[in-house]
Structure 1
């Protein structure tokens, strides 16, 4: 069964739709974005989740000190970092959360799961959060272990993308929105049904 993360959540309603639909993880964007949410707001939502799914604090280019501070305040159990990162930076995250996700653009020549010590590798479109789809089949057979496919996934293309790339998991944000930053519960439900069929 494919692991599914619904990202960019900001409301109890969206979170419950994700959990009810069978999501394995929910993500909170704590960097500048139409989906941005404060660490204090995330903490309230994480308390409502009560350990039912993986909770992910998503950061773009912030320094590791900021990532550590905000994720601790939010009480997420997973950290996802975008941007150019080093093994030393990932090593600072590993002791403080259960899981570390490292996100890279699909333009990386030879992505490798765990290359910097992360638990999960996420391969995204060049502009994370853009909703731009791409040739998912380009990754077929190139990656092993726990890696996630992201970028331009929607309820109407996720099943085909999974067939094309055979990822361990998938991640969606804009593909389940009615407007930038506004999650649609029915789209979340449809996405999960298509991804896990």
Structure 2
């Protein structure tokens, strides 16, 4: 079970998570200025180096990034770019020209049917498609990080309906150490993603909650 902890804003806090006995597989750095967990590319570079030294993958979160946004982040040692906005299907091809990385992640705010998502994925250029899909709750005017929870049974039903037409799914939205076992057992995702559910304050993680979240998610199946 892949585990990502998203939205660090303090280097010392990230270092404590990276040095713990129980660590996530990836950390998320939020480069969207509208987020309460926003970090500048300059600060993000320090965070990415801390995670890389610990062997942890670095996912950079962007919302409808401009060319300037991508170029400013070029010095950050990212493993993946996660697009969490309303980007067009060919956005990863545009990203690759300015910020090439190993993996591309399409975040999708789920409403009901996954058919609009399938249309979006089908329109992606073959040369630059999403490697992973992150499913999050849909909240008007928000791009993740709200703590809103998906209907896990409905998501599983939709995943069963569309079959193998989805890339590996990372489940997000309102997860905590207390509910992640139930979520994993119902949805059976490839991975899970959490931000607020393991925090003391926005952007400041509780290392004990991070460890519990990782252990519970990995032991769920």
Q: Same fold (TM over 0.5)?
A: yes
Does residue 131 of the first structure (1) align with residue 147 of the second (2)? yes
Alpha-carbon distance in structure 2 between the residues aligned to 1:47 and 1:100: 20
Extract unaligned runs of 5+ from structure 1.
none
Q: Determine the structure 2 residue equivalent to 1:14.
A: 14
Quick check: which has more Rg, 1 or 2?
2
- Report how far residue 181 of structure 1 moved: 2.3
* 8 A contact 1:148–1:167 mirrored in 2: yes
Matches within 5 A, 1:25-174: 25-32=26-33, 33-50=35-52, 52-63=55-66, 65-94=67-96, 96-107=100-111, 109-110=113-114, 111-112=117-118, 115=122, 116=124, 117-127=129-139, 128-143=144-159, 144=164, 145-174=167-196
CA displacement 1:51-97 (0-9 Å, x = unmatched): 5021011112323x134213312221211111122222112234610
* 8 A contact 1:114–1:121 mirrored in 2: no
Secondary structure, counterpart of 2:146 in structure 1: coil
Q: Determine the structure 2 residue equivalent to 1:179.
A: 201
Extract unaligned runs of 5+ from structure 2.
none
RMSD (CA atoms) = 2.0
Change (3 A) 1:170 1:126: same
* 8 A contact 1:15–1:26 mirrored in 2: no
- Report how far residue 46 of structure 1 moved: 1.6
Q: Determine the structure 2 residue equivalent to 1:195.
A: 217
Change (3 A) 1:119 1:15: farther
Alpha-carbon distance in structure 2 between the residues aligned to 1:122 and 1:8: 15
| More helix per residue | 2
Q: TM-score, normalised by structure 1?
A: 0.89
* 8 A contact 2:175–2:194 mirrored in 1: yes
Change (3 A) 1:3 1:141: farther
Alpha-carbon distance in structure 2 between the residues aligned to 1:18 and 1:193: 15
